[in-house]
Amino acid sequence: MSVGNTAVTTPVPDGPVIVCETPQDECGVRDVLDRLGDKWSVYVVVELASGIKRFKELQRAIPGNISQRMLTLTVRRLERDGLVKRTVYPTVPPQVEYELTDMGHSLTHLVKSLADWSIAHRPVIAAARAAWDADAAAAASAAATEI
């Protein structure tokens, strides 16, 4: 499929999985994908799936050295979306704990399904990438010899 051709060329056996009334409607998917498609949100959800964590605990548990500012922004967005509950205890310094809400916990099943799918298809994806890269390299080489 070329960059300009985005039409589905094979029929879907049982019809489309998601049908939006209008292209602008987006079926509510855009908001969810924007939140979960960022670099850190899924890591936060995965770490909080095991239970309540304090801020520094959460920061240390997330791979990739997330900055304090980015973790703060991420948990605030997840809290705003109703996926994370933040509890502040009136101590000096204030103790803050984070946990998943019921809706946040329901998301963990989807994240696990996505992770399982990814693991199951990793070899096929790697082979497809290698084949595509080889085809692209051959096409580039052929184009270079034509010039």
Could you report the per-residue pLDDT of 37-71, keeping only the tens digit for each?
788 999 999 999 999 999 999 999 998 889 999 99
Q: Is 21 or 119 the better-scoring residue by pLDDT?
A: 119
Please return the burial class of 105, using the count of CB atoms within 10 Å of its CB with bins 0-12, 13-18 and 19+. Answer: middle
Partners of 88 in the β-ladder: 96
Partners of 100 in the β-ladder: 84
* Mean pLDDT confidence for 75-91: 95
Instruction: Look at residue 14 and tell me if it is in a domain.
Output: no
Contacts of 68 (CB under 8 A, 6+ apart): 59
What is the Cα–Cα distance from 99 to 48, expressed in whole angstroms? 6
Q: With a threshold of 0.85, does the pTM exceed it?
A: no
Task: Measure CA of the first residue to CA of the last residue in the chain; give whole Å.
Answer: 25
Instruction: Look at residue 20 and tell me if it is in a domain.
Output: no
Q: Is 1 or 106 the better-scoring residue by pLDDT?
A: 106
Structurally, the chain folds into a number of domains equal to: 1
Instruction: Look at residue 76 and tell me if it is in a domain.
Output: yes
Domain span including residue 32? 26-146
Instruction: Look at residue 55 and tell me if it is in a domain.
Output: yes
pLDDT band (50, 70, 90) for residue 144: confident
